[in-house]
Chains A and B, each alone.
Chain A
Amino acid sequence: MEKTLKKYFLVFTLPTVVAFAFAFIIPFVQGVYLSFCKFTTVNNAKWVGLSNYKTAFSNGQGFTSALGFTVTFTVISVLTINLFAFIIALLLTRKIKGTNIFRTVFFMPNLIGGIVLGYTWQQMINAILYKYETTIVSNAKYGFWGLVLLMNWQMIGYMMIIYIAGLQNVPGDLIEAAKIDGATPWQTLIKVKIPMVMSSITICMFLTLSNSFKLFDQNKALTDGAPLKKTQMLALNIYETFYGKTGYEGVGQAKAVVFFIIVAVIALVQLSFTRSKEVEH
């Protein structure tokens, strides 16, 4: 069977491979090469070695401060989203009436796109700040916490769903046994439930981590980096370097390569985490 199928390789793989080459393979290879070049379009590239990378990390490029902002934002939002999502998941697995409606409503924000969400929250937050005669773009703290609030609002429902699925898989007799042994609800949570949903926790941690770290749309819509690029995240910083002013395309590409390497390292750590979990089971 394999032999007959093998002759059909063009029919089965060509459309996907052509599209994949256009969208990913060629641009990726070109992108790595161009990060070592000075260029304004892909046709006038001149090899400059590592100078783009040096410029990327120099002062005035805002890359390192964007990295700092991104890391701080990611840490805070990963912790808050997962904490709240887990608590809500615990509350929704107690067979309280209306659970399904609550679940439906809490998950809904996840479906709305980043740009639309960003402007919705910008209007909301500004409406509150107008009372104090200020706006979200006047202070980097407002932008930071606004973004944290927005991400929580968007992602809690999503993570909650994964935690609920994990909690429902905890065998009931295990919890019964803990109760009979005299465990308090708190002890049952710490000693039984949390260890049993460790795989859900890993999934949610990494999902929120990579979503927060790569955030672009929400950042662009909510503050667009204002004031003075203090609320600019990495993805937005790279975008601005490419399209903000001509002559810095190579620097933008070098920043993109650095960004890619960080994201790839996060993914590899996640992979080794999941693999080691699989061995344990």
Chain B
Amino acid sequence: MTSAKTKFSNKIIFVLLCALTVAILYPLLFILNNSFKGKFFISKDPFALPNSETFVGLGNYVNGLIKTGLFKAIGWSFFITIISVVLIVLFTSMTAYYITRVKSKYSTALYYMFVFSMIVPFQMVMFTMTSLADKFHLRNPLGMCLLYLGFGAGLSVFMFAGFVKSIPLEIEEAAMIDGCSPLKTFFGVVFPILKPTAITVAILNAMWIWNDFLLPYLVIGVSTQYKTIPVVVQMLVGSNGNKDMGALMAMLVLSIIPIVIFYLTCQKYIIEGVVAGAVKG
């Protein structure tokens, strides 16, 4: 079927796609390139490769790390993301299971509130939520995890509930008749079946929490030691008028590296998860 004409047009498309690849990667290569140049040379000729005069080795990285404490922020970002995702997967799957299997006014009301919360923009609750967090001493990493459980609940319960509905009741009933408690039934029988959805929920929430800026910025703030990566990057630029462009470039590179590694290792799950989330959400 492939004629000479389609072969030729496929070649042109291939070249086009290669050009597009370069265009997509260019901004990342741009900051990588400039992160090795002295700060005074960056604005002079930002597109040139570093040469013996402009090259400063890892100087910008050292400078930036001293200024921002980015490594610590990477640590806190990891901590908050991992704990929050574990809490979300564990507790929202249990809640979703309960409200799908038990039909009561309580569970119906809860379900609709979770769905409703998905369409409410963050600006609607940010001021009141921050003062509530202040009152209950939630302005710390563990408090953040609790808040993420609350904010993540809408989409996560919704996605789990959709999947629980498709599991036949007989399996659970058999387990119950064998004397399993509801908790044992859930973790022994239901949760393993939910695994694909659990992976999707974990990935969607991990991406959101890792990159989230406004919630940690408002709740944890800029003056504590618990800053996350986006907060630190924002502070580096926002704090001083006399910007250290070299340090900024270096810190941007360091912020992107963990995501790229995560993406390249779990690419299949990430793409599948994001598509599933988009279609269901």
Contacts and interface: CB of A to CB of B under 8 A. Distances in A.
Contacts of A92: 17
B30 interface: yes
B260 to A, nearest CB: 7
A12 interface: yes
Contact of A239 (B13, B25, B26, B123): B123
Contact of B120 (A28, A88, A112, A124): A28
A214 B132 CA distance: 24
Contacts, number: 270
Is chain B's interface secondary structure helix, strand, loop, or mixed overall?
helix
Interface in A203-224: 203, 207, 214, 216-217, 220-221
A119 B186 CA distance: 45
B248 A96 contact: no
B16 A130 contact: no
Contacts of A11: 94, 182-183
A8 B146 contact: no
A109 to B, nearest CB: 7
Contacts of B230: 113-116, 217
Interface residues of A, number: 87
Is chain A's interface secondary structure helix, strand, loop, or mixed overall?
helix
A90 B28 CA distance: 26
A23 B211 contact: no
Given A31-B127, A102-B21, A119-B248, A94 B94 contact: no
Given A5-B101, A5-B102, A120-B31, A115 B213 contact: yes
B13 A91 contact: yes
A267 B118 CA distance: 10
A235 B10 contact: no
Nearest to B113: A25
Contacts of A5: 98, 101-102, 182
Contacts of B95: 12-13, 16-17
Interface string B258-281: 011011100100110011001100
Interface in A148-205: 153, 157-158, 161-162, 165, 203
B101 A108 contact: no
4 smallest CB-CB distances across A and B, nearest first, come from A23-B150, A113-B211, A127-B46, A19-B150
Given A8-B183, A28-B125, A260-B121, 19 more contacts: A2-B101, A5-B102, A6-B102, A13-B98, A16-B149, A20-B150, A22-B146, A26-B132, A27-B128, A107-B271, A112-B256, A113-B229, A116-B211, A121-B27, A124-B26, A127-B47, A216-B122, A242-B126, A256-B124
Interface of A: 1-2, 4-6, 8-9, 11-13, 15-28, 30-31, 34, 41-42, 88, 91-92, 94, 96-98, 101-116, 119-121, 123-124, 127, 130, 153, 157-158, 161-162, 165, 203, 207, 214, 216-217, 220-221, 235, 238-239, 242, 249, 252-253, 255-257, 259-260, 263-264, 267
